[in-house]
Amino acid sequence: MTDQNKPGSDDPPVAEDAAARELAPGDKGPSIVPPDSFTGRVSTLHEIALQIDAARSNDEILRVLRNEIRWILQHRVCFACLLNTFHSEYTVIALSPQGESGLKDGTRHPAGAGVSGTVIMNQSPLCLDPAEFAGEPAGAQEGAAEQLPEEFLKSAGMRSLLVVPLRTGDETIGTLGFASEAEGAFGEHEIVLAQLLATQVAIALLHNAVFEDAQRRIAQIELVNELAEDLTSTLELDQLLSAAAETIRKTCSFFDVSIFLVDRPRQEAYLVAHSGTHADFLPAGYRQKFSEGIVGWSITHDERVMSGDVKEDSRYSANFYTETRSEMSIPIRVEHEIVGVLNVEDERRHAFDETDAIVLETLCDQLGSAIKNAQLYDRLKRTNAKLTEFDRMKSDFLGIVSHDFRSPLASIVLAASALLKRPDAVDGRRLREYLTVIVDQANRLIRLAEDTLSMTKMEAGQLNYFFNMVNIERLIKDTISMVTVSGRHTVTYELDPRVGFVRGDPTKLRQVLQNLLSNAVKYSPAGGKVTIRAAHHSSEQLVVAVTDEGIGIPADQIGKLFQKFSRVDTPQSKEIKGSGLGLWICREIVKAHGGQIWVESQVGKGSTFAFTVKKAHPDTTLE
């Protein structure tokens, strides 16, 4: 519509500079004058209604009102009060020409406050005459954070106020207000026109809300599809979750989006991805106890939490998020178990609805599958790394074994050949020396063969155990007699008088003790005392410990000692030959007996290897 088409447009209703001026108390500037005839104004209203109907956004509707309203109703100030989705508060929007009435735009008030509150509640217009409206500025409200529109208008010298509901059918979504400095400015005609206009505006705003909501939903569904593709193609978890948080925040226009993963052993959730206003305050790695906040509640109660007003919610724990008003936490599950939480926050109250929750829950299902894939991939990578390491250790082992088999065999062949060559020339002492070499080296071969065989059987799960009552003193004595001890070492044993029998496989237990004792001797090249002790450990178990005064083990290498093929990586240890299998076999056997094995050691001072084994009483029945 152009000004030429409007009634009275030849004579512009208001001087531009006057309309642009802000109102000041006592300012009696000229009002906007609409055409006189009621029918003329109704037909103008019809044209404006068509424009409003064609508007595609709230801003457009308000723009039409700002430009055109002056043609229908004589007023000085026009404003709208729009209720939020939850009808808990309204926001004031100044609608005077060019919006420069001085009325503060954007102030919020509780739904029932002031004149607009009354109109919303009663769903009928209010026209206030001078007696009810004019008067001194509302001193009581001075300094208050948010001034009600009528308080401002009163202080700006307005003497008439007309407020009509923005209503369609039963639903009221706010009010439309007009003020004038003239007394009795709004009569019956003005009330009818204002109500007709308000109905058109209300219908258009409601249509628009539905349209905008539909657009938002479409964007959300597109987001779900897009993310589904990204999530299935990315296997790096951190990267994947950061991208998801960022996209969700941008598409859904949430103020803050974070993704936590669950650390069950520590009963904590830790932040892995964060996008939004507070991402700088809470970087990745931030930890939160299960007992804290809405995120914690969602994990411990295994349910989605939607809090419309965190200030009223006892589950909420405020940290840096002082502006947060709404929060929603949705569990992310992998095979029914919660592995994480998607948390969204907003500074508006009741910012999320059921459809948001459904969209985000669908996303969480996809995040769950993506996390599972990424975890599987991670596990695969680790297994692969282990296999590569294992392969390397196995090659080392083969090298060691072939060497270890060859050198005792060479010694045996050498000693036996010498005996064969000159049997008569060998005296009794020499003969014993040669035979000792042969027996010792053959024993070394047997141990190596036994270790290799045990490993193969253990790996195949074919090592059988035959449990029996084992006399611990006999076990120790037998072991000592079987291990070759050089003249530089002294081996003794000490027994707690309470120690008698243990429950175990005697052959396997002897293998453990034999390994520990031969290591004690082997890794004490300078000789020294080796002691085997058997003592009471608990009512159920006793402990057997082998202590030496040898080279010891650096603290940083102790952790890997009981792994297969693991050998201490120091020049001193490397000089002494071995396969790195003995301690692994010991640990497997002790584990099969329900015990534990460990070591305490000091470099240069010696080591103590100890294991626990179950006590047995002579009257116990063994399977």
Which residues contact ligand ADP (rule: CB under 6 A)?
515, 519-520, 523, 548, 550-553, 561, 567-568, 573, 578-584, 607
In the bound state with ligand ADP, the residue whose beta carbon lies nearer, of 329 and 441, is 441
Give the helix ranges, DSSP H, for 12-92.
Answer: 16-20, 38-54, 58-68
Nearest distance from residue 481's CB to ligand ADP, in Å?
Answer: 20
| Residue 401 vs 426, nearer CB to ligand ADP | 401
For the CB of residue 316, give the shortest distance to ligand ADP in the complex, in Å.
55
User: Sign of the CA dihedral 116, 117, 121, 122?
Assistant: negative
CA distance 257 to 84: 23
Q: Least distance from C-beta 397 to ligand ADP, angstroms? A: 10
Q: Is the CB of 327 or the CB of 588 nearer to ligand ADP?
A: 588
> Cα separation of 71 and 549, whole Å?
107
Min. distance of Cβ 499 from ligand ADP in angstroms? 23
Closest CB to ligand ADP among residues 125, 578 = 578
- For ligand ADP, which is the closer residue by CB, 65 or 520? 520
Residues constituting the chain = 623
Beta-bridge partner residues of 607: 601
Indicate the residue among 368 and 582 with the shorter CB distance to ligand ADP: 582
- Which C-beta is closer to ligand ADP: that of 324 or that of 607? 607
Q: Cβ closer to ligand ADP: 342 or 517?
A: 517
CB 604 → ligand ADP: shortest distance, Å? Answer: 11
8-state DSSP, 596: -
Report in angstroms how near the CB of residue 594 gets to ligand ADP at its nearest. 21
CA distance 51 to 481: 108
- Given a contact cutoff of 8 angstroms between Cβ atoms, the answer to whether 19 and 32 are in contact is yes
Q: How far is the CB of 561 from ligand ADP (least distance, A)?
A: 5
Nearest residue to ligand ADP by CB is 578
In angstroms, the CA 310 to CA 344 distance is: 12
What region does 7 belong to: left with phi over 0, alpha with psi -120 to 50, or beta? beta
Write out the two tokens for 395.
């090659």
- Angle ∠(474,480,482) on CA atoms, nearest 5: 105
DSSP code at position 281: T
Q: Which is nearer to ligand ADP, 585 or 616 (CB)?
A: 585
Amino acid at 60: E
User: C-beta of 595: minimal distance to ligand ADP in Å?
Assistant: 17
Indicate the SS3 state at residue 89.
Answer: strand
- State the Cα angle at 316 between 313 and 320, rounded to 5°: 130
Its sign, for the CA torsion 556, 591, 580, 489, is positive
Nearest approach in angstroms of CB 592 to ligand ADP is 17
CB of 340 to ligand ADP, least distance (A): 41
CA-based R_g, the chain, Å: 44
Task: State the Cα–Cα distance between residues 346 and 243, nearest whole angstrom.
Answer: 19
Task: Give the nearer residue to ligand ADP in terms of CB position, either 90 or 584.
Answer: 584
Q: Are strands 597-602 and 541-547 parallel, antiparallel or unpaired?
A: unpaired
Burial class (CB in 10 A: 0-12, 13-18, 19+), 193: buried
